[in-house]
A and B are shown apart, each in its own frame.
Chain A
C-alpha cells in the first residue's frame, strides 16, 4: 500500500494505492473453473483517533484500487492511519505522515 498525505491550508489531501488482486469471483481460469472471489470490502482512515474516511467497496472495484479523499483539521507532521479488510479476512495497515505541499 502506498499512501501520500499532503496538507494545504486546512485541507489534507490523501491518495492511496493498494496492491490487491480484487478478484470478482465471476472470472473463469483456463480450465473453465471459477476463480474464487477475493476483494477488499472496507477501507478506513483515522487521524488522531477519529475516523476521517470510510469506504465500503467490493468486486466492482478493479485490481490495485486507487482511492483519494480530503479531510479538514490535519497539520503537517501528524499521522494518518489507513487500513483495509478483505473478503478472506486479509488486512493491511499503514501509517503516513502528513507532509507539506
Chain B
C-alpha cells in the first residue's frame, strides 16, 4: 500500500492558484503566462511521482505502474496497432478522385504530427490533425471521414508513427490562441456530469490510484501518444473518441468529436505536455 505523504488536494489548489495568479499579470505575453501554467503543472506531478523521469510521462500509466509497464513492453515487441499503421499508409497513398493525394496537403510524406494542434489565426480556432485530414479531403472534393475510429484513425496512426520522436512544442502567441487555451483549461478543471467530476479530479488528484479496476493515468503526457489501439475498442481510435468516453463516464453528454470544446481541451492538454516527445500510436487497455 502506497503511503500518501503529499496532500493532493492542497497541491491541486496551489496549482490552480498559481495559474490564476498568472492570469492576473497584465503582460500581453501569453507565452509567458502559459509557461507559468506549464511549470506549475509539471511541479505538481514531480512532487506526486518523484521517481518518474519527465520524458517517461509520454507513456501514460506505464510510467507510474511497474506491472502494467512490463505487460506493455512485451506487447510493444509486436504491437496491436501495427496493422492500423500499415492500413493507414495504404490509405494515405490512395489518390483522391481529382488525382491529388494527402501528400499535397501534408509535407514530409505526412510526418507532420508535431505541427498539431495549433491555433489557426485565419480560421480563429484550434486545428487538430484529424480536422486537417478532413480539411484536405474536403478541399479535394471528397467527403469528410467520421472522427472516432476507422479510416481517419488509421491515417492519423500512420502519420503519428512516421512523426515519432518529434518534440511537443505548441505555441500560444495571440489573444485568440490564449482564449482557446483558457477555454480548454476551464473544461479540464471544471466539474461536470451527474457524478460531478473533472478531468483534473481523476488525472491529477487521483493519478496512480484506481478507478474501478483501472489505474488512472497522469494528465502530463496525455496527448503525446494518440491515436491509440484500445483493447476495449478492439481497434484504433482517436483522442476525441476517448474524450467522449470520459465525458460519458462522468454522466455527462459528450461533445461531438472535433467540436470546439474538445479541440480546445486537446490544445490545453498538448500545451501542458510541451517538452515531451510524440510517441504515437500506442496501445492501451
Contacts and interface: CB of A to CB of B under 8 A. Distances in A.
Contacts of B83: 2, 17, 19, 64
Interface residues of A, number: 10
Interface residues of B, number: 7
A64 B82 CA distance: 11
Main secondary structure of the interface of A (DSSP, over half): strand
Contact of B234 (A2, A15, A19, A63): A63
A2 B235 contact: no
A2 B80 contact: no
Interface of A: 2, 4, 15, 17, 19, 62-64, 66, 68
Contacts of A17: 78, 80, 82-83
Nearest to A2: B82
Contacts of A2: 78, 82-83
Given A2-B83, A17-B83, A19-B83, A63 B78 contact: no
Which 8 residue pairs are nearest across A and B when measured between Cβ atoms? A15-B78, A19-B83, A63-B234, A4-B78, A2-B82, A62-B234, A64-B83, A17-B78
Interface string B68-98: 0000000001101011000000000000000
A63 B230 CA distance: 13
A15 B80 CA distance: 11
